[in-house]
Amino acid sequence: MKKESKMWRDNLRGIFYIALKDIKTYYFKPPAVSWGIVFPITWILAFYLRNPGDFKELVPGLIAMTILFSTTAAEAVVINFELRLGSLERLLLAPISIAAVLLGKVLGGVIFGFLMTTVVTIVSVVVLGLHPNVLYLILIILPSLFVFSSLGALLCVMVKEVFEAQTLLNLPRFLMVFLSGVVYPVSKMPAALQYLSYTLPLTYTVEGLRLSFSEMVSNKIILPYTLLLIGFFFIFLFPAIKLLYKRFE
Assign 160 to helix, strand or coil: coil
Could you give the CA distance from residue 67 to residue 73 in angstroms, rounded to a whole number? 10
Residue-wise pLDDT for 161-185, tens only, equals 888 888 888 888 889 988 998 878 8
Res. 2 pLDDT band, cuts 50 70 90: low
How many distinct structural domains can be found in the chain? Answer: 1
Domain limits for position 72: 2-247
pTM over 0.85: yes
- Measure CA of the first residue to CA of the last residue in the chain; give whole Å: 28
Q: Which long-range contacts (CB under 8 A, 24 or more apart) does 158-165 make?
A: 158/243, 159/80, 160/80, 160/83, 160/84, 161/80, 161/84, 162/76, 162/77, 162/80, 162/81, 162/84, 163/76, 164/80, 165/75, 165/76, 165/79, 165/80
Radius of gyration over every alpha carbon of the chain, rounded to an integer in angstroms? 18
Residue-wise pLDDT for 117-133, tens only, equals 999 999 889 988 888 99
Amino acid identity, position 33? V
